[in-house]
Amino acid sequence: MVNKLYYGDNLEVLRKYIKDESIDLCYIDPPFNSKRNYNQIYNNLGKEDQAQAQAFVDTWTWDNHANEALEEIQSNYQGKFTSQTIDLIDGLTKVLGKGSLLAYLVSMTLRIVEIHRVLKSTGSFYLHCDPTASHYLKIVLDTVFCSQGGDFKNEISWKRQSAHSDAKKKFCDIVDIIFYYVKSSQASFYPQYGEHDSNYVDKFYRHDDNDGRGMYRLSDMASPNPRPNMMYEWMGFPYPSKGWRYQKETMQQLHDQDRIYYPRHSDGQFNTKKRPQLKRYLNEQEGSIITNLWTDIQSLSPHAAEKLGYPTQKPEALLERIIKASSNKGDVILDAYCGCGTTIAVAERLERNWIGIDITYQSISLMLKRLEDSFGKNVLDKIELNGIPKDIESAKALATKPDDRTRKEFEKWAVLTYSNNRAVINDKKGADKGIDAIAYFQGDKDNREKIIFQVKSGNVKSGDIRDIQGTMTLQGAALGIFITLKPPSKDMIQTAKSAGIYRGRYRSQSVDKIEIVTVQEILEQKKRLDVILTFEVLKAAEKQRETQGQQMSLDIPFPE
């Protein structure tokens, strides 16, 4: 199977492209209002003090989309919803009213129903949320899974951080909730084990025969239940009242392997008034079994090696535990809210197939870069990209969609594709609004030089080139990249040429200070930024220091 990344709304992708019963394990970490005042979420939007409400990407509002979603559920669109789900949403509408919390729950209900559909009969589902809405999501999940032969398995509490002192009017919030459901009783599950508790080890593993096998504890060899066929004398020891735990042949094997502790008198003779015990060696035990309280996995610190700067990034250890517990090598893992790609990166490392979905191209770009950095460029050959422009017509379709968010996604796609995912998107408003992205490259004096990017999807003119030239001056940028969907005019090309050329020691040839790049060139000619960015210079230097033990002149291949 080819691994797949989908750029787009996960509901649309699930409905159009993910087949029934094709997924072994699904994990999602959808946006949730973890830092907003609970009363603001609970109240209707009209009653909410918008001036005090914090602006979060995961804010949900009641709008036409929410109304349409509610109508789908209440009218049982295409017969997708169980009667329990319909009744629940009807009841929540009456209790909560048409506000932000109901909008969130309706949106999640549509997606949970589709995830249930695409799971195999042996499939598992993990939903990551926080206590703000977990109690509502739990009953939504019950109506979808438990009413159709599935089952609720666990509510996992993940202690993501230690106590902090910023909570003055309530107890500190330090846990997330992860719900674990299965589609049927045939779902796979493999218990996971953590490190041994040090206090437990100190208390029970107190014996060592100094034979190289290490510390061990003693366990009872008596049967807990009456077993007449196990009532035999062993090495002069009478059988326990209910018999031995093991058959005679097994006892002999344990004896031959010196795994039985025999109580002795001071003269070394067996003390048959006591009972032999089994030696259980510490290094042969799997560790402490993992429960539904996870305290051993810390959230990522700002300086963690795997930290990518994504605000809600989860540690790989968290996903590794989930994937190992509920899947096998070769299984298909789905993450419908892929974010920075932790799920797919771990799935790749654990030799699972995977499908990732995200609504922003910036996330898709980050995932591709993460996979390339972790597994090498060849891993990209095994990925099928969907929803991303592959020809000029699909690029036009993305650029000309009516909503501002989608147009911004076109800008991100154009910049990140042309810059090989190295540029940093500018999300600021105000004075920098003429800059869509920034990248840095190594200057002649080993200082960082700036490149600014601007993307236009509408009509363009020579005045646009003069504008970017003025912005370069204000920002102190050495180079400017003007990406346009429509072909540039001769005046535009002439104006760009008049800005001059740039020469540098990390370049194979001089370049125009202002370069006009068309989307058609990006798509059909695979034109890419050929400036060696600061990151590549540093990585090349680091690699040479590792291999040769000293810093030498840099031999950096230019991107093709």
Q: Read off the tokens for 305.
A: 């090696």
Q: Read off the tokens for 168.
A: 């003055």
Q: Which of 48-62, 283-297, 423-437 comes out lowest in average pLDDT?
A: 48-62
Q: Say how far apart CA 556 and CA 537 lie, in whole Å.
A: 7
Question: 530, exposed or middle or buried, with CB in 10 Å at 0-12, 13-18, 19+?
Answer: middle
pLDDT band at 213, cuts 50/70/90? very high
H or E element at residue 159: strand 151-159
pLDDT of residue 204: 92
DSSP letter at 195?
P
pLDDT of residue 15: 97
Question: 229, exposed or middle or buried, with CB in 10 Å at 0-12, 13-18, 19+?
Answer: exposed
pLDDT at 40 over 50: no
pLDDT of residue 114: 98
Q: Which segments of 287-333 does DSSP mark as H helices, in order?
A: 316-326
The residue type of 481 is I
Question: 214, exposed or middle or buried, with CB in 10 Å at 0-12, 13-18, 19+?
Answer: middle
Q: Say how far apart CA 298 and CA 318 lie, in whole Å.
A: 9
The residue type of 235 is M
pLDDT of residue 543: 47
Give the helix, strand, coil percentages of the chain, each rounded to 5: 35, 20, 45
pLDDT at 35 over 50: no
pLDDT of residue 410: 87
- Beta-ladder partners of 354: 333
pLDDT of residue 406: 65
Q: Read off the tokens for 495.
A: 């104006």
Sort strands 293-294 and 332-335 into parallel, antiparallel or unpaired. unpaired
User: What angle do the packed helices 462-475 and 490-497 form, to 10 degrees?
Assistant: 30
CA torsion 16-20-25-30 (nearest 10°) is 40
Q: How many CB atoms lie within 10 A of CB 20?
A: 9
Entry field: residues in the chain: 560
pLDDT at 518 over 90: yes
pLDDT of residue 46: 37
Q: Say how far apart CA 218 and CA 424 lie, in whole Å.
A: 60
Q: Read off the tokens for 97.
A: 């009213």
Instruction: Tell me the average pLDDT of the chain.
Output: 86
Q: Say how far apart CA 479 and CA 147 lie, in whole Å.
A: 60
Q: Averaged over 498-517, what is the pLDDT? A: 84
Q: Which of 58-67, 229-238, 252-261, 473-482 comes out lowest in average pLDDT?
A: 58-67
Best CA proximity match to 361, nearest among 402, 416, 439: 416
pLDDT at 310 over 80: no
pLDDT band at 217, cuts 50/70/90? very high
pLDDT at 194 over 70: yes
b/e per residue, 42-79, with b = 16+ CB within 10 A? bbebeebeeeebeeeeebbebeeebeebbebbeeeeee
Q: Read off the tokens for 315.
A: 């540690």
Best CA proximity match to 480, nearest among 488, 498, 468, 463: 468
Domain extents for the chain? 3-192+291-386, 198-284, 392-542
CB half-sphere exposure, 332, CA atoms < 13 A: 21
pLDDT in tens, 520-557: 999 999 999 987 665 544 444 444 444 443 333 333 23
pLDDT at 198 over 50: yes
pLDDT of residue 560: 35
Measured over the CA atoms of residue 75, residue 81, residue 84 and residue 86, the dihedral's sign is negative
Q: Averaged over 318-346, what is the pLDDT? A: 96
pLDDT of residue 508: 60
pLDDT of residue 554: 30
Q: Which of 12-26, 321-335, 545-559 comes out lowest in average pLDDT?
A: 545-559
pLDDT at 246 over 60: yes
For residues 197 and 159, the answer to whether their CB atoms sit within 8 Å is no
Q: Which of 289-293, 326-330, 370-374, 427-431 comes out lowest in average pLDDT?
A: 427-431
Task: Please give the share of the chain, as a percent, with pLDDT higher than 70.
Answer: 85
Q: Is the pTM of this model over 0.85?
A: no
CATH annotation of 3-192+291-386: 3.40.50.150
pLDDT of residue 546: 45
pLDDT of residue 402: 67
pLDDT of residue 195: 85
Sort strands 514-518 and 479-484 into parallel, antiparallel or unpaired. parallel
Q: Which of 39-53, 202-216, 234-248 comes out lowest in average pLDDT?
A: 39-53
| Three-state SS at 158 | strand
Query: In angstroms, what CA-CA distances link 289 with 24, 152, 196, 471?
Result: 23, 20, 9, 59
Q: How far apart are the first and last CA of the chain?
A: 29
pLDDT band at 558, cuts 50/70/90? very low
Sort strands 288-289 and 511-512 into parallel, antiparallel or unpaired. unpaired
Best CA proximity match to 462, nearest among 425, 499, 414: 499
Q: Say how far apart CA 474 and CA 358 lie, in whole Å.
A: 35
pLDDT in tens, 352-361: 999 999 988 8
The residue type of 80 is K
The CATH fold of domain 392-542: Trna Endonuclease; Chain: A, domain 1 (3.40.1350)
pLDDT of residue 38: 46
pLDDT of residue 294: 96
Q: Say how far apart CA 182 and CA 26 lie, in whole Å.
A: 10
For residues 43 and 99, the answer to whether their CB atoms sit within 8 Å is yes
pLDDT of residue 54: 32
Question: 171, exposed or middle or buried, with CB in 10 Å at 0-12, 13-18, 19+?
Answer: exposed
CB half-sphere exposure, 482, CA atoms < 13 A: 30
Q: Say how far apart CA 470 and CA 472 lie, in whole Å.
A: 5
Best CA proximity match to 33, nearest among 113, 164, 131, 116: 131
For residues 344 and 334, the answer to whether their CB atoms sit within 8 Å is no
pLDDT in tens, 361-404: 878 888 998 999 999 989 988 999 888 887 888 788 888 876 66
Q: Averaged over 113-117, what is the pLDDT? A: 98
pLDDT of residue 115: 99
pLDDT band at 505, cuts 50/70/90? low
More confident residue, 354 or 312: 354
